[in-house]
Amino acid sequence: MSDAEGDGASDGGVDADESADMGDLFDELQELEDLVMSDAAREQVRETMRVAMVASAAASPFGRVIRGFDRSDLTEALLGSLLFGIPMAVEGGTQEVGTFLAPRPGYLAGTFLFAVGMVIGIIYVADFQDVRVHKPIFGLIPRRLVGVIGVSLLMATLILTGWGRVDWTEPSLAAANIVVAFVPMSIGAALGDLLPGS
């Protein structure tokens, strides 16, 4: 009996006793894509990855492989942002916290970075879905992260400005209020993007 037969390991490095998931399949297909020599074979591997993605989408809203960031993802992020953000726009506590943060730029920056960290954690660390970075901006910045943060920040600015909750004659106070509203809106956008399982 060989070692591979004796310990249950397969050629792909996944133990036969482990429950393989779609993420494992994508990992194997990406390795195969790097190994094949011809363009036709590489395209066949990519087509297999597309079919696997469709199959994973039909199985369950959770545990699917998510690649790319398109209009539907942006729309889901927008909806999540609005669901979490509208209460912030009508709540007086937003202005109180903004008033506290405005003269404290370190706290304001920390609040913003906390929100960005939460978004990164929800999208890439919490493992709600198997999110793959696809075609990052400048080869470094994930499009999904930029989309979720961008839509949250834009909606916080538009809602608070449109509803007269910020006064741009005091830009530091207005920016602080927007950052305060941005925190839950960014979390809502990240959850809105991932939970439907797109």
17 and 48 both lie in a single domain: yes
- Name which of 38, 69, 58, 56 is nearest 135 in CA terms: 69
Structurally, the chain folds into a number of domains equal to 2
The residue out of 42, 59, 76 marking a domain boundary is: 59
40-62 pLDDT tens trace: 777 877 777 777 766 665 554 44
Percent of the chain with pLDDT over 90: 30
Closest CA to 131 of 29, 23, 46, 51: 23
Q: Which of 12, 42, 59 is the last residue of a domain?
A: 59
169 vs 47, more confident: 169
Q: Which token pair is 179? A: 């950052």
44/132 same-domain check: no
Confidence tier at 185 by pLDDT (50, 70, 90): very high
Residue-wise pLDDT for 94-136, tens only, equals: 889 999 999 999 999 999 999 999 988 887 777 666 566 667 6
CB 100 within 8 A of CB 33: no
69 with 22, same domain: the answer is no
Confidence of residue 194 (pLDDT cuts 50, 70, 90): confident
23 shares a domain with 91: no
Number of Cβ within a 10 Å radius of residue 43: 12
Last residue of a domain, one of 34, 59, 84: 59
**Same structural domain, 69 and 49:** no
Q: Using pLDDT thresholds of 50, 70 and 90, give the confidence band for residue 174.
A: very high
Residues 104 and 118 in one domain: yes
Question: Rounded to the nearest 5°, which phi and psi values hold at 48?
Answer: -65, -40
Indicate whether 141 and 107 sit together in one domain. Answer: yes
- Are 129 and 39 members of one domain? no
Q: Which residues contact 118 (CB under 8 A, 6 or more apart)?
A: 183, 186, 187, 190
Residues 106 and 182 in one domain: yes
Q: Are residues 77 and 125 in the same domain?
A: yes
Question: Range of 182's domain?
Answer: 65-194
